[in-house]
Structure formats: structure tokens, C-alpha cells
Amino acid sequence: MISDPHYEETFLLKASVEAVWAALTDPRKIAEWHLCKITVMEGRIGGKIEYSAGLSPVITGRVVAWAPYRLFSHTFQFTHEPRDPVSEVAFCLEPAGSSCRLLIRHSGFPDYNGTYRDVSAGWPVLVAGLQAMFDKRPYAGIYPKAA
């Protein structure tokens, strides 16, 4: 059981497990719903991952788990919070009829630091964008997307 501060929430997405996996791991799909672009995605354990806004990295990490259609996790370091320790985000996928149950667990916070506050507020916004992509409806989240 995780007792340190962590973010954990389960979402029911109206999409197949395969579609959700692609949306979490394919840089072209990620660009459709995430506030940042994936500029590096090495889909293997130990592979690098980097989310960027413009030319600058925003989040860096390494892939910790890569089990297609079931589990993807990576370490997570905000570049704007360099004093916060590296955390880890895990995406657990499970079929739920014609939908997908997505559990997001973001852990490794020794306290309620800046990274914890940002991700706790950010994950629900990002998942709303993910569902909007599956619903084929516009969604700007908290920031308007550039055309």
C-alpha cells in the first residue's frame, strides 16, 4: 500500500485498450490530446522519454515498465522543479467491455511538493483531453491549442 503522498485515479475511457495504449505511447497520438509533445519516446524498459513545449523539455524520464496493452510506466522529472525528487507515473490498462479502464498512479513524492501539486491537478485535465480525442470533439483543456 502506498502511504506517501501520491496521485491515483481510475478513468473509464470509451475506447479499446489498443486505442488507449496507442494514445499513451505513440507521439503522433499523444500530440492530439496532451498539452506537451513527445520529442523522445524509446518504447522499451530503460528507454528515454521527453515531453517538450516548444523547443524546451518540460518532463524527462526513463521507461520503467513496458507491457503492451497492460502497463506503461516511466520516471518523471519536471524541468521547472529540479529540486523535487524524481517520481514515477504508471498507466495500467484493463478491458471493460468495449471500453478501457485506465488507472493512473503517480508516486514517489516524499512530501506535497510542487511536482505533486502540478500532477494532481494536471492528470484529470489531461485525461479529459484524451477522452475528447476518442469522442472526436474539441477540447482545449486549460490552455488553448495552437492551430
Q: What is the pLDDT of residue 2?
A: 53
Cell 524541468 belongs to: 79
Instruction: Render pLDDT for 10-60 as a digit per residue (tens, 0 to 9).
Output: 999 999 999 999 999 999 999 888 888 999 999 999 999 999 988 899 999
Q: What is the pLDDT of residue 78?
A: 93
Global pTM? 0.89
Q: What is the pLDDT of residue 147?
A: 42
Summary mean pLDDT of the chain: 90
Instruction: Render pLDDT for 89-112 as a digit per residue (tens, 0 to 9).
Output: 999 999 999 999 999 999 999 999
- Cα-to-chain-centroid distance, residue 58: 13
Nearest residue to 98 via CA among 9, 8, 19? 19
- Taking CA atoms, 95 is separated from 15, 69, 92, in Å, by 9, 9, 10
Phi, psi of 77 (to 5 degrees): -135, 115
Point out the least confidently predicted range of 2-6, 25-29, 76-80, 134-138.
2-6
Is 91:113 a contact under the CB 8 Å cutoff? no
Nearest residue to 36 via CA among 58, 20, 61, 7? 58
